[in-house]
Amino acid sequence: MGNKNKTISFRVNEDAFETLREIAEERDISLSAVFRDYVDTLVAHDGQVRVVPEHELTAGSATDADSPAESFPPKVEVPKSFVREHERLELEAEHLREQLDEYKRYVTALSQELEAREDEEIIQLEDLDGEETEEEPFRLG
């Protein structure tokens, strides 16, 4: 079976959100990338990840003897084609949202026009099909 991505969703207070956004801006990555990096690190170390302030990390944590040469946060190279495809999909999604808004406006305009015509007598074709004529049917032959 293929590797399917799952979505994790949770809430944080406004202060924590702003702090996370500042971290993302400082690293010049998206906010979701901050979480993906954390989750990837958590999975890679079997849940044995400890979040420490950066000044403690630079002081040389003696408990982190597993990977002293690795920098934190871990860096991942992303192919330009992936970034371009992501940008293309974002543009396409924006275009589809615009189209949806346009169709909604069109439906609203048609609904308003229909409401304005309620004064006029409108005969539905379905209603005409149900009416029986009292005339005798014609016979050929």
Residuewise pLDDT in 10s, the chain (141 residues): 567 777 777 788 888 888 888 888 888 888 888 888 878 888 888 777 777 777 777 765 444 444 545 666 778 888 889 889 999 999 999 999 999 999 999 999 999 888 887 767 767 777 776 655 566 666 676
pTM of the model: 0.34
Q: What are phi and psi of 99, to 5 degrees?
A: -60, -40
Tell me how far apart the alpha carbons of residues 20 and 12 are, in angstroms, rounded to a whole number.
10
